[in-house]
Structure 1
């Protein structure tokens, strides 16, 4: 919204469908909110039957901030309620601080000026949500505004607070603000790009249900102190917080159901004793020791680190007996997946991604059949083996002696999908095992390596697929030959086989070079 008053000659009165006579400016902004003490006599409000003020205020509170600001330009009733609007969302988009209009430095000044003006005009009463997304062009010097902004809006009654800064650890979030009664009402706290130093002396956040920390400078002990006094917490997300070495989640968090830890570089231990976590997501170093206790409620697992497939098969089945959905990403597996007696009795949906520029050629894809035996309730299996350079032994060079696992039949799996399919002999053996031993199979999708952007995908909104290197196209052609020679003849007529090739139209020139 533009905060500059437009010249009077740009204004004109229009008759709205509901009878209100409003003032419309050629600018897309909301100039009258620039100064709500404007003496211009051109903004006049006429309406039919009037509504009680509390109903008008409620209607106004339900509007997004930008719409609420524009409504306040044409209605004195809404202008009054604007001063206590409960949902304040400040970002480049909501404030119209567009880089196409302003230079980089001006974006920061424009943003700070607008937020400062709006908050100083705000009464500070009734704020439920405050979201401040500082543009990346702002720097540490702009932090001088933040203290005053937070003091105006972070008051008892606030429920949702988001502070996302573009610099790192240069601003120290004033935790003392939450000890004046404001912390008693906060249900959701999302901090990014700042320092956060909670202390036990100032107490916790008694109604907090969601805590998201991204790129925040905080130590494990400080976070532990906050968690120990936030007994209503349900979701905890920690991303890029490099000051945490040991994350301890106390057993007092009985309501915690969703725990996400992403790329905290110095983290070495996750020790969770919260008994009711049902969703756990971890991306990071394979050396991090995971201690999740008796995760009897765990039904959704997401893991991403080198060796994650082996870890998921060897370490987790006994501690997560009720797991239903698992997504495992790994950029390297040194040890093959072993055949074990332990099982995921209730796992129905399993996704495994073994993606890298070159996945270790010593890894045996056929060993993944261990998961079929370990998951008697499995219904959907997705395997992504996309890589830039395939160095596994190709079945085209060694077509003899395909391995088989005897006596391993599966009667629940309905759909198997393999992305980035190659001519790797062990991958072909795994796929043959699927078509020969899964009696319940209905759909088998084998997709050769695809472009990152594809013309056939409506969301990409493009006319041509992004280029593929010639060696990737060559391997895709070998993969298609392997499918038709070794797999397709074994597929039952009851199974729908879906073979996805690279786009022939977009890669016609490269494919022509291959002959």
Structure 2
């Protein structure tokens, strides 16, 4: 799509240049025509100015569709592209985008990022994505890059670092009122994040993804209570969270993933429109009573089959798709009168130390409750 637009724009510019050259060769005739039709010419000139402005917009739009590496190369071909490159809205920094191999060191990475940002105006950045696989001994670089790129109007911020020690502390001070208003997606990895009540509301934040992030349950609750537009929340390997509570203000939250947060003991959701929930880790106390709209559920834990039959009918009575993965399941599943009446799809994965007879039992018990069943046994 970007290539077609580029070819179209180039042909327009060639045609316009050809007409100018032809007009110059016309000499006095052209001048007399200009005098005779000066009002129309003025209109044409003003339209031409408008077209040039639109052309600049088209250049910028074409560049915005290109990967950052290709856009930087295109900037070397024309001044128009160079001007547009200085306002490129998507800044993506990883080894692939920077043309680095897997053995690249900190100096290679930081020098390339610094060089690119020095040639950027810092205006109009919509997406800033930083993914660093090499170890950064000096995290001051990250601070300076974020201060440069995170400006009013930014919509997506991704900062994925390697397992740095000491852990990088993501600066909440960067979120001014204007930035907090525009941000729609925040993805952090291998860092510390300590939001407080002073942060203020992130009114348009739709997606929050935290992986190996050092954040407490209270700090996360403070952030969630001010994220009224949040639709998706994913937490992976966040070891400081013990209690996770979704407040009722999260009216738009529809997807919650809590994966391998080993210290979590309680998960409680009051989000009324939660429809998809995934969990893996140690067994927790689960309360989704006020999230009765949950239709898709995935759970991976020890003895989860027994838990699914005894507790899930009262926790997620309307679930339609259920996937459970269990390991060290040592007891037979009890026969209970309560059923998952709306269950249509069931997937069971069993890992080690499982009695085979349980699979037959569950299949028979679920036969009237769902349309599809699949089971996997792993030794």
Q: TM-score normalised to the size of structure 2? A: 0.84
The 5 Å alignment of 1:97-108 reads: 97-99=100-102, 104=103, 106-108=104-106
Give ranges in structure 1 of 5+ residues lacking alignment.
Answer: 1-15, 21-45, 388-515
Matched, 1:343 2:335: no
1:304 — aligned with what? 300
The 5 Å alignment of 1:238-253 reads: 238-253=235-250
2:219 to 218, 222, 225: 222
1:123 to 117, 121, 124: 121
| 2:329–2:355 CA contact under 8 A, matched in 1 | no
The 5 Å alignment of 1:24-423 reads: 47-49=14-16, 52-99=55-102, 104=103, 106-135=104-133, 137-139=134-136, 141-168=137-164, 170-286=167-283, 288-356=284-352, 359-361=353-355, 364-373=358-367, 375-376=368-369, 378-387=370-379
Give ranges in structure 2 of 5+ residues lacking alignment.
Answer: 1-5, 18-51
Mapped to 2, the partners of 1:55 and 1:289 lie a distance apart of: 54
1:393-419 residue CA offsets vs partner (Å, 9 max, x unmatched)? xxxxxxxxxxxxxxxxxxxxxxxxxxx
The 5 Å alignment of 1:420-439 reads: none
If asked which structure has higher relative contact order (CA below 8 Å, sep 6+), I would say 2
2:27 — aligned with what? none
SS in 1 for 2:313: coil
* Pair 19,233 (structure 1): closer, same or farther in 2 beyond 3 Å: closer
1:29-50 residue CA offsets vs partner (Å, 9 max, x unmatched)? xxxxxxxxxxxxxxxxx85548
SS in 2 for 1:127: coil
* Pair 76,343 (structure 1): closer, same or farther in 2 beyond 3 Å: same
More helix by percentage: 2
1:370-429 residue CA offsets vs partner (Å, 9 max, x unmatched)? 5425x43x2211100121xxxxxxxxxxxxxxxxxxxxxxxxxxxxxxxxxxxxxxxxxx
| 1:333–1:363 CA contact under 8 A, matched in 2 | no
SS in 2 for 1:317: helix
| 2:177–2:200 CA contact under 8 A, matched in 1 | no
Count, aligned residues: 336
How far 1:297 sits from its partner (Å)? 0.9
| 1:306–1:332 CA contact under 8 A, matched in 2 | yes
SS in 1 for 2:69: helix
Mapped to 2, the partners of 1:291 and 1:247 lie a distance apart of: 10
1:497 — aligned with what? none
| 1:171–1:195 CA contact under 8 A, matched in 2 | yes
1:415 — aligned with what? none
How far 1:17 sits from its partner (Å)? 8.1
RMSD between aligned alpha carbons?
Answer: 2.1
How far 1:362 sits from its partner (Å)? 8.0
| 2:232–2:254 CA contact under 8 A, matched in 1 | yes
* Pair 49,162 (structure 1): closer, same or farther in 2 beyond 3 Å: farther
| 1:112–1:142 CA contact under 8 A, matched in 2 | no
Q: TM-score normalised to the size of structure 1? A: 0.62
SS in 2 for 1:216: strand
